[in-house]
Structure 1
Amino acid sequence: MKTQLLLLALISSVFATQLQGQNRTIVNAQNSEISDNLDLRVVASIFGDSRNLNDFERQLNDPKLQISNLDLNNDGQVDYLRVIESVEKRTHLVIIQAVIDRDVYQDVASIEVEKNWINNIQIQVVGNPYFYGQNYIYEPVFFNTPLIYADFWMSNYQPYCSN
Structure 2
Amino acid sequence: MKKTITLLLVILGITFSSAQENDNPEFTGENFSLEGALDLFKKANSLENFEELLNQESNNVNNLDLNNDGNIDYINVDDIKENDTHVIVLSTFLSKTEKQDIATVGIEKTGNEEATLQIEGDQDLYAENTIAEPYDVSEKMNQGKGGPSLSEIISTRIIVNVWFWPSVRYIYAPRYVAWKSPHRFGFYPRWWKPWRPFRYATFYTRAAPHRVYYHRTPICRLVIVRKVYAPRRNHSTIVIHKNNHKTVVLKSNNRSEKYQKSKRKPNVKVVKVSKNRRR
TM exceeding 0.5: yes
Determine helix, strand or coil for the equivalent of 1:101.
coil
Q: For 1:131, give the aligned amino acid.
A: L
How big is each residue's C-alpha offset from its partner over 1:19-73, in whole Å with a ceiling of 9 and x where there is no partner? Answer: xxxxxxxxxxx85243542110011111111001000000000133242110011
Compute the TM-score of the two structures, normalised by the length of structure 2: 0.45
Whole-angstrom distance in 2 between the partners of 1:36 and 1:134:
13
Contact 2:29/2:102 (<8 A) preserved:
no
Deviation at 1:82, TM superposition (A): 0.3
RMSD: 1.9
Q: For 2:177, give the aligned amino acid.
A: Q
Q: For 2:73, give the aligned amino acid.
A: D
Deviation at 1:130, TM superposition (A): 1.7
How big is each residue's C-alpha offset from its partner over 1:105-152, in whole Å with a ceiling of 9 and x where there is no partner? Answer: 100000001102444200010001121111101121368731011111
Q: For 2:118, give the aligned amino acid.
A: Q
Q: For 1:68, give the aligned amino acid.
A: N
Change (3 A) 1:148 1:115: same
**Alignment partner, residue 135 of structure 1:** 129
Whole-angstrom distance in 2 between the partners of 1:55 and 1:32:
31
Identity rate, percent: 27
Whole-angstrom distance in 1 between the partners of 2:178 and 2:81:
7
Greater Rg over alpha carbons, structure: 2
Where does 1:1-163 land on structure 2 (aligned, <5 Å)?
31-34=25-28, 36-141=30-135, 145-163=164-182
Q: For 2:85, give the aligned amino acid.
A: T
Whole-angstrom distance in 1 between the partners of 2:30 and 2:132:
16
Runs of 5+ unmatched residues, structure 1: 1-29
Runs of 5+ unmatched residues, structure 2: 1-23, 136-159, 183-279
Q: Which has the higher contact order (CA 8 A, sep 6+)?
A: 2
Whole-angstrom distance in 1 between the partners of 2:165 and 2:102:
23
Whole-angstrom distance in 2 between the partners of 1:63 and 1:137:
23
Compute the TM-score of the two structures, normalised by the length of structure 1: 0.75
Which aligned runs of 4 or more in structure 1 are off by greater than 6 angstroms?
Answer: none
Whole-angstrom distance in 1 between the partners of 2:168 and 2:161:
14
